Structure 1
């Protein structure tokens, strides 16, 4: 148990630094490695619980930039999808095959994030269909694997040039969707006594990592942080696929 706590502390610390510095990536890093020790279900619930704390910490500095109207459609769509992901996770969350699925999905995400290039001109959103689709995909995948962030990142990058507005509304979306998932899982009795110990350990990491990440937010290139984290996640994903 002692080494398990050290493991959780270090992984959560790295994920928190990345989230604070770039706006997302906590779930990608933590869920890429944590299922090597815990079930996918337990890893997802722990990750989302820590996301709530972390987003509140970040929003304490950026809350003035939140624009509820801009995030309404994508968040409502994501909450709808979270209901279905809750049912799926409760049915299959303890099964090992889900680790292989997670590994494959993580590799696809990493490849997309590493090789996709930003367009010079951002597309204009003229229909609510795009945020609905992104919200449904991000909500469902995020509810199962806690790695639905890229769908929200894509949306908010399209509508915001200001990095503080982008980060604030992104974190607010993560906060609302994660809190909703925790509430329905809590009502279903999905948390046990061992969760509290892991959560408290991760909580310390979140505060330290977020503090460091927010400092790097102003100084360090996001690309460097992302590439290092992606390499770690890729290795972990390969282990998940072939070893489980």
Structure 2
């Protein structure tokens, strides 16, 4: 009973954070849920609920989707997710990769703090090669560890000055990639009774959490949202390093 209460509470907290900042559900939930369930079960529950709550956010900001930016990053990210699907089945988790990911995330945050070039005319963010690389790497990490969100967050923060464009395109990316992974695991027969149990219960919880979070999002400036996102990413990176070394 207490196990279920803890899992549902962390799902609520994660959905509130994602509603208010645009991301963070997987980062908040994976560490706790994986204590009670297997890593694969936890990952699939988090990915499915992320797709569900992202749909709620996207419904509000759907007018700000920019399709020409979505296509290249989601195509390359789908390739990354396909590679991650094979990786999860045959190799499981690799702690060394988590440490590398954490160091990369911290480096990106430091760079962005020092260089606030977050406009649509940024040469870096408009570079299709960078879009393809971010998509492939973020897709792989998200499919293997359910924590690929920060790379996409950093990309879209660099790409858009308008917080509504940032969150709309970010949520659509989450939805497309997570559905891709869930369907692949469903075909492979990986969806357990625990997955369906917590997904059904979780949908109600995330609706409440994301609704409250969106009210906060509307009140925050783009710069504050950027700072919140950078802080969450930094804490998640530090947590990855600590957990990998324990």
Alignment TM-score, normalising by the size of structure 1:
0.85
The 1:63–1:175 alpha-carbon spacing in structure 2 relative to 1, beyond 3 Å, is same
The runs of 5 or more residues in structure 1 that have no matched partner are: none
In the comparison of the two structures, how many residue pairs are matched? 237
Match of residue 20 from structure 1: 19
Superposition pairs for residues 1-244 of structure 1, below 5 Å? Answer: 2-93=1-92, 98=93, 100=95, 104=99, 107-108=102-103, 111-112=106-107, 115-116=110-111, 117=113, 119-122=115-118, 123-125=122-124, 127-220=127-220, 221-222=224-225, 223=227, 227=231, 231=235, 234=238, 238-239=242-243, 241-242=245-246
* Contact 1:49–1:182 (8 Å) recurs in 2: yes
Compare relative contact order (CA 8 Å, sep 6+) and give the higher one, 1 or 2: 1
Give 1:102 deviation, angstroms.
Answer: 7.4
The runs of 5 or more residues in structure 2 that have no matched partner are: none
**4+ aligned runs moved over 3 Å, structure 1:** 99-116, 220-241
Worse-matched range after superposition: 57-66 or 122-131: 122-131
Give 1:149 deviation, angstroms.
Answer: 1.1
- Per-residue deviation, residues 68-126 of structure 1 (Å, max 9, x unmatched): 11111111000011111001112234xxxx37457646754674576451523343145
Give 1:135 deviation, angstroms.
Answer: 0.6
* Contact 2:26–2:147 (8 Å) recurs in 1: yes
Q: In 2, distance between residues paired with 1:129 and 1:12?
A: 35
Superposed CA RMSD: 2.6
The 1:173–1:9 alpha-carbon spacing in structure 2 relative to 1, beyond 3 Å, is same
